Amino acid sequence: MKIKENISLKDFNSFGIEAIAKFFTIISSTEQAQEISESLIIEKNNSLVMGGGSNILFTRNFDGLVIKNEISGIELTNETDDFVFIKCGAGVIWHELVLFCIERNYCGIENLALIPGCVGASPIQNIGAYGVEVKDVIHAVEAVPFFDSKIISFSNNDCHFGYRESVFKNKYKNQFIITSVTYKLKKNPVFNISYGAIPQELERMGVKDLTIKGIALAVINIRNSKLPNPKIIGNAGSFFKNPEISIAQYEELKIKFPSIVGYPTDKSNVKIAAGWLIEQSGWKGFREGDVGCHEKQALVLVNFGKATGADIYKLSERIIESVFQQFQIRLEREVNIY
Protein backbone atom coordinates (compact mmCIF):
# COMPACT_ATOMS: atom_id res chain seq x y z
CA MET A 1 0.00 0.00 0.00
CA LYS A 2 1.44 3.34 -1.07
CA ILE A 3 0.38 6.83 -0.09
CA LYS A 4 0.77 9.28 -2.94
CA GLU A 5 0.70 13.06 -2.86
CA ASN A 6 -1.14 15.64 -4.98
CA ILE A 7 -3.19 13.18 -7.05
CA SER A 8 -5.89 14.25 -9.53
CA LEU A 9 -9.34 12.89 -8.69
CA LYS A 10 -10.81 13.57 -12.13
CA ASP A 11 -10.78 9.90 -13.13
CA PHE A 12 -12.16 8.82 -9.76
CA ASN A 13 -15.47 10.73 -9.78
CA SER A 14 -18.31 10.24 -12.25
CA PHE A 15 -18.79 13.98 -12.73
CA GLY A 16 -15.28 14.10 -14.17
CA ILE A 17 -14.47 17.11 -11.98
CA GLU A 18 -10.85 18.12 -11.63
CA ALA A 19 -9.81 18.21 -7.99
CA ILE A 20 -6.52 17.41 -6.29
CA ALA A 21 -6.18 15.16 -3.24
CA LYS A 22 -3.33 16.15 -0.95
CA PHE A 23 -2.84 12.45 -0.14
CA PHE A 24 -4.23 9.39 -1.90
CA THR A 25 -4.09 5.63 -1.39
CA ILE A 26 -5.82 2.46 -2.59
CA ILE A 27 -6.77 -0.37 -0.24
CA SER A 28 -7.68 -3.86 -1.44
CA SER A 29 -8.09 -5.83 1.80
CA THR A 30 -9.45 -5.55 5.32
CA GLU A 31 -5.87 -5.75 6.60
CA GLN A 32 -4.93 -2.69 4.57
CA ALA A 33 -7.99 -0.88 5.93
CA GLN A 34 -6.78 -1.68 9.43
CA GLU A 35 -3.27 -0.53 8.57
CA ILE A 36 -4.37 2.78 7.09
CA SER A 37 -6.83 3.43 9.94
CA GLU A 38 -3.93 3.47 12.38
CA SER A 39 -1.75 5.60 10.13
CA LEU A 40 -0.62 8.99 11.37
CA ILE A 41 -1.86 10.44 8.09
CA ILE A 42 -5.51 9.73 8.98
CA GLU A 43 -7.41 12.81 10.08
CA LYS A 44 -10.88 12.17 11.45
CA ASN A 45 -12.46 15.21 9.87
CA ASN A 46 -10.31 15.37 6.77
CA SER A 47 -10.22 11.86 5.34
CA LEU A 48 -12.54 10.53 2.67
CA VAL A 49 -13.27 6.94 1.65
CA MET A 50 -14.30 6.59 -2.00
CA GLY A 51 -15.70 3.69 -3.99
CA GLY A 52 -16.93 4.37 -7.50
CA GLY A 53 -17.10 8.13 -6.97
CA SER A 54 -20.62 8.14 -8.42
CA ASN A 55 -22.36 10.12 -5.69
CA ILE A 56 -19.90 12.89 -4.98
CA LEU A 57 -19.26 16.45 -6.14
CA PHE A 58 -15.90 18.09 -5.52
CA THR A 59 -16.20 21.87 -5.33
CA ARG A 60 -12.56 22.35 -4.33
CA ASN A 61 -9.32 20.42 -3.85
CA PHE A 62 -9.36 17.89 -1.01
CA ASP A 63 -6.82 18.94 1.61
CA GLY A 64 -6.50 15.55 3.28
CA LEU A 65 -6.37 11.81 2.59
CA VAL A 66 -8.57 10.12 -0.02
CA ILE A 67 -8.84 6.32 0.45
CA LYS A 68 -9.95 4.44 -2.67
CA ASN A 69 -11.69 1.27 -1.50
CA GLU A 70 -11.12 -1.70 -3.81
CA ILE A 71 -11.79 -4.57 -1.38
CA SER A 72 -13.18 -7.41 -3.51
CA GLY A 73 -14.85 -10.78 -2.99
CA ILE A 74 -18.37 -12.23 -2.99
CA GLU A 75 -19.18 -15.32 -0.90
CA LEU A 76 -22.12 -17.29 0.42
CA THR A 77 -21.72 -17.35 4.22
CA ASN A 78 -24.97 -18.94 5.37
CA GLU A 79 -28.14 -20.49 4.01
CA THR A 80 -31.56 -21.48 5.34
CA ASP A 81 -34.62 -22.96 3.64
CA ASP A 82 -35.78 -19.48 2.65
CA PHE A 83 -32.74 -17.20 2.65
CA VAL A 84 -29.12 -16.91 1.59
CA PHE A 85 -26.55 -14.61 3.21
CA ILE A 86 -24.10 -13.05 0.74
CA LYS A 87 -21.00 -11.27 2.09
CA CYS A 88 -19.46 -8.83 -0.36
CA GLY A 89 -16.32 -6.72 -0.31
CA ALA A 90 -17.00 -2.99 -0.15
CA GLY A 91 -15.04 -2.31 -3.34
CA VAL A 92 -17.12 -4.63 -5.54
CA ILE A 93 -19.05 -2.83 -8.28
CA TRP A 94 -22.69 -2.82 -7.20
CA HIS A 95 -24.08 -3.97 -10.56
CA GLU A 96 -21.67 -6.91 -10.54
CA LEU A 97 -23.22 -8.06 -7.26
CA VAL A 98 -26.71 -7.69 -8.76
CA LEU A 99 -25.70 -9.87 -11.73
CA PHE A 100 -24.10 -12.43 -9.38
CA CYS A 101 -27.37 -12.76 -7.47
CA ILE A 102 -29.57 -12.87 -10.57
CA GLU A 103 -27.53 -15.73 -12.02
CA ARG A 104 -28.23 -17.74 -8.84
CA ASN A 105 -31.85 -16.63 -8.50
CA TYR A 106 -31.24 -14.81 -5.22
CA CYS A 107 -34.07 -12.30 -4.90
CA GLY A 108 -34.17 -8.81 -3.43
CA ILE A 109 -31.89 -6.45 -5.34
CA GLU A 110 -32.96 -6.96 -8.98
CA ASN A 111 -34.84 -3.62 -8.95
CA LEU A 112 -31.52 -1.96 -8.08
CA ALA A 113 -29.79 -3.09 -11.27
CA LEU A 114 -27.37 -0.67 -12.94
CA ILE A 115 -27.16 1.72 -9.99
CA PRO A 116 -23.63 3.12 -10.27
CA GLY A 117 -21.05 2.85 -7.51
CA CYS A 118 -19.68 0.19 -5.22
CA VAL A 119 -21.11 -2.08 -2.53
CA GLY A 120 -19.62 -0.01 0.30
CA ALA A 121 -21.83 2.93 -0.64
CA SER A 122 -25.05 0.90 -0.47
CA PRO A 123 -25.51 1.14 3.33
CA ILE A 124 -24.19 4.70 3.51
CA GLN A 125 -26.76 6.02 1.04
CA ASN A 126 -29.41 3.35 1.61
CA ILE A 127 -29.54 3.17 -2.17
CA GLY A 128 -32.94 2.60 -3.71
CA ALA A 129 -34.88 2.55 -6.95
CA TYR A 130 -38.20 1.36 -8.35
CA GLY A 131 -39.87 0.70 -5.03
CA VAL A 132 -36.93 -1.05 -3.34
CA GLU A 133 -34.39 0.17 -0.78
CA VAL A 134 -31.26 -1.75 0.15
CA LYS A 135 -32.08 -1.44 3.87
CA ASP A 136 -34.64 -4.20 3.34
CA VAL A 137 -31.92 -6.74 2.50
CA ILE A 138 -28.86 -5.59 4.48
CA HIS A 139 -28.07 -8.04 7.27
CA ALA A 140 -24.77 -6.64 8.57
CA VAL A 141 -22.05 -4.12 7.78
CA GLU A 142 -18.42 -4.55 8.83
CA ALA A 143 -16.23 -1.49 9.17
CA VAL A 144 -12.91 -0.33 10.58
CA PRO A 145 -12.97 2.94 12.56
CA PHE A 146 -10.37 5.60 11.98
CA PHE A 147 -7.56 5.44 14.59
CA ASP A 148 -8.31 1.82 15.51
CA SER A 149 -7.66 -1.55 13.88
CA LYS A 150 -10.62 -3.41 15.34
CA ILE A 151 -13.44 -4.56 13.05
CA ILE A 152 -16.90 -3.43 14.14
CA SER A 153 -20.04 -5.19 12.96
CA PHE A 154 -23.23 -3.16 12.56
CA SER A 155 -26.61 -4.89 12.47
CA ASN A 156 -29.40 -3.56 10.27
CA ASN A 157 -30.88 -1.72 13.25
CA ASP A 158 -27.49 -0.24 14.15
CA CYS A 159 -27.38 1.46 10.74
CA HIS A 160 -30.44 3.65 11.48
CA PHE A 161 -31.57 3.62 7.87
CA GLY A 162 -33.79 6.36 6.47
CA TYR A 163 -34.56 7.67 3.01
CA ARG A 164 -31.08 7.92 1.44
CA GLU A 165 -29.75 8.15 4.98
CA SER A 166 -27.86 6.04 7.51
CA VAL A 167 -25.68 6.38 10.58
CA PHE A 168 -22.66 6.40 8.23
CA LYS A 169 -23.94 9.53 6.51
CA ASN A 170 -24.73 11.38 9.71
CA LYS A 171 -23.40 10.44 13.17
CA TYR A 172 -20.44 8.46 11.81
CA LYS A 173 -19.80 10.38 8.62
CA ASN A 174 -16.17 9.93 7.47
CA GLN A 175 -15.31 7.98 10.64
CA PHE A 176 -15.25 4.42 9.27
CA ILE A 177 -13.87 2.41 6.38
CA ILE A 178 -16.60 -0.04 5.39
CA THR A 179 -14.93 -3.33 4.48
CA SER A 180 -17.88 -5.62 3.71
CA VAL A 181 -21.66 -5.79 3.56
CA THR A 182 -23.73 -8.95 4.12
CA TYR A 183 -27.11 -9.18 2.39
CA LYS A 184 -30.01 -11.45 3.33
CA LEU A 185 -31.74 -12.44 0.10
CA LYS A 186 -34.78 -14.59 -0.61
CA LYS A 187 -34.48 -17.97 -2.35
CA ASN A 188 -38.14 -17.79 -3.40
CA PRO A 189 -38.67 -14.60 -5.45
CA VAL A 190 -41.22 -11.98 -4.42
CA PHE A 191 -41.62 -9.65 -7.38
CA ASN A 192 -41.94 -5.87 -7.04
CA ILE A 193 -43.12 -4.29 -10.29
CA SER A 194 -45.60 -1.70 -9.04
CA TYR A 195 -43.28 1.30 -9.25
CA GLY A 196 -42.50 3.51 -12.22
CA ALA A 197 -42.42 2.22 -15.79
CA ILE A 198 -41.51 -1.40 -15.00
CA PRO A 199 -44.93 -2.88 -15.97
CA GLN A 200 -44.94 -1.01 -19.28
CA GLU A 201 -41.38 -2.06 -20.07
CA LEU A 202 -42.11 -5.70 -19.25
CA GLU A 203 -45.09 -5.54 -21.59
CA ARG A 204 -42.96 -3.94 -24.31
CA MET A 205 -40.42 -6.73 -23.84
CA GLY A 206 -43.17 -9.32 -24.21
CA VAL A 207 -42.47 -10.87 -20.80
CA LYS A 208 -45.28 -13.20 -19.74
CA ASP A 209 -43.61 -15.24 -16.99
CA LEU A 210 -41.96 -13.01 -14.40
CA THR A 211 -38.40 -13.69 -13.29
CA ILE A 212 -35.92 -11.57 -11.38
CA LYS A 213 -33.75 -11.57 -14.51
CA GLY A 214 -36.63 -10.15 -16.54
CA ILE A 215 -37.28 -7.43 -13.95
CA ALA A 216 -33.59 -6.50 -13.85
CA LEU A 217 -33.47 -6.28 -17.64
CA ALA A 218 -36.53 -4.04 -17.63
CA VAL A 219 -34.88 -1.76 -15.06
CA ILE A 220 -31.67 -1.70 -17.10
CA ASN A 221 -33.61 -0.74 -20.25
CA ILE A 222 -35.45 2.05 -18.42
CA ARG A 223 -32.28 3.45 -16.85
CA ASN A 224 -30.39 3.34 -20.16
CA SER A 225 -33.24 5.17 -21.90
CA LYS A 226 -33.33 8.03 -19.37
CA LEU A 227 -29.92 8.38 -17.75
CA PRO A 228 -26.70 9.55 -19.42
CA ASN A 229 -23.61 7.36 -19.36
CA PRO A 230 -21.08 9.12 -17.06
CA LYS A 231 -18.28 7.88 -19.34
CA ILE A 232 -19.78 10.10 -22.05
CA ILE A 233 -21.39 12.92 -20.05
CA GLY A 234 -20.23 13.57 -16.49
CA ASN A 235 -23.00 13.08 -13.93
CA ALA A 236 -23.81 11.48 -10.58
CA GLY A 237 -27.26 10.13 -11.41
CA SER A 238 -30.08 11.60 -9.34
CA PHE A 239 -28.72 14.80 -7.82
CA PHE A 240 -31.71 15.49 -5.55
CA LYS A 241 -33.84 13.44 -3.16
CA ASN A 242 -37.56 13.05 -3.70
CA PRO A 243 -39.02 15.32 -1.00
CA GLU A 244 -41.72 14.23 1.44
CA ILE A 245 -44.57 16.60 2.27
CA SER A 246 -47.75 16.31 4.31
CA ILE A 247 -50.93 14.98 2.73
CA ALA A 248 -52.54 18.35 3.43
CA GLN A 249 -49.86 20.21 1.49
CA TYR A 250 -50.06 17.63 -1.29
CA GLU A 251 -53.84 18.09 -1.62
CA GLU A 252 -53.41 21.86 -1.79
CA LEU A 253 -50.79 21.54 -4.52
CA LYS A 254 -52.93 19.07 -6.43
CA ILE A 255 -55.67 21.69 -6.77
CA LYS A 256 -53.23 24.06 -8.43
CA PHE A 257 -51.13 21.42 -10.22
CA PRO A 258 -53.42 18.44 -11.05
CA SER A 259 -50.60 16.48 -12.74
CA ILE A 260 -48.27 16.57 -9.72
CA VAL A 261 -46.61 13.18 -9.16
CA GLY A 262 -46.76 11.84 -5.61
CA TYR A 263 -46.56 8.50 -3.80
CA PRO A 264 -48.02 8.02 -0.28
CA THR A 265 -45.36 6.85 2.19
CA ASP A 266 -47.60 6.50 5.25
CA LYS A 267 -50.82 7.93 6.66
CA SER A 268 -49.48 11.47 6.87
CA ASN A 269 -46.85 11.98 4.15
CA VAL A 270 -46.50 11.88 0.38
CA LYS A 271 -43.25 11.55 -1.54
CA ILE A 272 -43.12 13.94 -4.48
CA ALA A 273 -41.17 13.22 -7.66
CA ALA A 274 -38.33 15.76 -7.58
CA GLY A 275 -37.81 15.31 -11.32
CA TRP A 276 -41.38 16.47 -11.96
CA LEU A 277 -40.88 19.57 -9.77
CA ILE A 278 -37.65 20.47 -11.57
CA GLU A 279 -39.15 19.89 -15.01
CA GLN A 280 -42.22 21.99 -14.19
CA SER A 281 -39.89 24.76 -13.05
CA GLY A 282 -38.39 24.88 -16.54
CA TRP A 283 -34.96 23.33 -15.94
CA LYS A 284 -35.15 20.12 -17.94
CA GLY A 285 -32.71 20.37 -20.86
CA PHE A 286 -31.18 23.60 -19.53
CA ARG A 287 -27.57 24.28 -20.45
CA GLU A 288 -25.27 27.14 -19.59
CA GLY A 289 -21.68 26.73 -20.71
CA ASP A 290 -20.59 23.22 -19.73
CA VAL A 291 -23.13 22.68 -16.96
CA GLY A 292 -26.74 21.68 -17.38
CA CYS A 293 -29.80 19.64 -16.53
CA HIS A 294 -30.20 16.49 -18.61
CA GLU A 295 -32.69 16.60 -21.47
CA LYS A 296 -34.31 13.25 -20.59
CA GLN A 297 -34.18 13.27 -16.78
CA ALA A 298 -34.44 16.55 -14.91
CA LEU A 299 -33.04 14.98 -11.71
CA VAL A 300 -29.63 14.61 -13.36
CA LEU A 301 -27.21 17.52 -13.42
CA VAL A 302 -24.43 17.11 -15.97
CA ASN A 303 -20.92 18.23 -16.80
CA PHE A 304 -20.64 18.60 -20.56
CA GLY A 305 -16.87 18.78 -20.39
CA LYS A 306 -15.14 21.53 -18.48
CA ALA A 307 -17.59 22.52 -15.75
CA THR A 308 -16.21 22.91 -12.24
CA GLY A 309 -17.79 21.48 -9.14
CA ALA A 310 -18.60 25.03 -8.08
CA ASP A 311 -20.47 25.56 -11.39
CA ILE A 312 -22.62 22.48 -10.78
CA TYR A 313 -23.23 23.43 -7.17
CA LYS A 314 -24.37 26.93 -8.19
CA LEU A 315 -26.82 25.43 -10.69
CA SER A 316 -28.22 23.17 -7.97
CA GLU A 317 -28.73 26.25 -5.78
CA ARG A 318 -30.66 27.97 -8.56
CA ILE A 319 -32.85 24.91 -9.09
CA ILE A 320 -33.57 24.56 -5.36
CA GLU A 321 -34.61 28.21 -5.12
CA SER A 322 -36.71 28.04 -8.30
CA VAL A 323 -38.63 24.95 -7.15
CA PHE A 324 -39.21 26.51 -3.73
CA GLN A 325 -40.58 29.72 -5.24
CA GLN A 326 -43.09 27.78 -7.33
CA PHE A 327 -44.11 24.94 -5.03
CA GLN A 328 -42.95 25.90 -1.51
CA ILE A 329 -40.97 22.64 -1.42
CA ARG A 330 -37.25 22.80 -0.67
CA LEU A 331 -35.24 20.10 -2.43
CA GLU A 332 -32.33 18.37 -0.71
CA ARG A 333 -29.23 17.14 -2.50
CA GLU A 334 -28.65 13.41 -2.63
CA VAL A 335 -25.08 13.86 -3.83
CA ASN A 336 -22.35 14.36 -1.22
CA ILE A 337 -20.66 17.76 -1.52
CA TYR A 338 -16.95 18.34 -0.78
Helix, coil or strand: residue 269? strand
Quick one: the chain helix, strand, coil %, rounded to 5?
30, 30, 45
Query: What residues act catalytically?
Result: 164, 238, 334
Using CA atoms, how far apart are residues 94 and 121, in angstroms rounded to an integer? Answer: 9
CB 90 within 8 A of CB 105: no
How many CA within 13 A on the CB side of residue 126? 20
Using CA atoms, how far apart are residues 235 and 258, in angstroms rounded to an integer? Answer: 31
Using CA atoms, how far apart are residues 168 and 155, in angstroms rounded to an integer? Answer: 13
Helix, coil or strand: residue 25? strand
Using CA atoms, how far apart are residues 121 and 143, in angstroms rounded to an integer? Answer: 12
Pairing of strands 176-186, 83-89: antiparallel
Nearest to 278 by CA among 235, 226, 327: 327
CB 78 within 8 A of CB 142: no
Instruction: Determine the distance from the C-alpha atom of residue 21 to the mean position of all C-alpha atoms in its chain, rounded to a whole number.
Output: 22
Order of strands across the sheet that contains 47-50: 4-8, 20-27, 62-69, 47-50
Using CA atoms, how far apart are residues 249 and 277, in angstroms rounded to an integer? Answer: 14
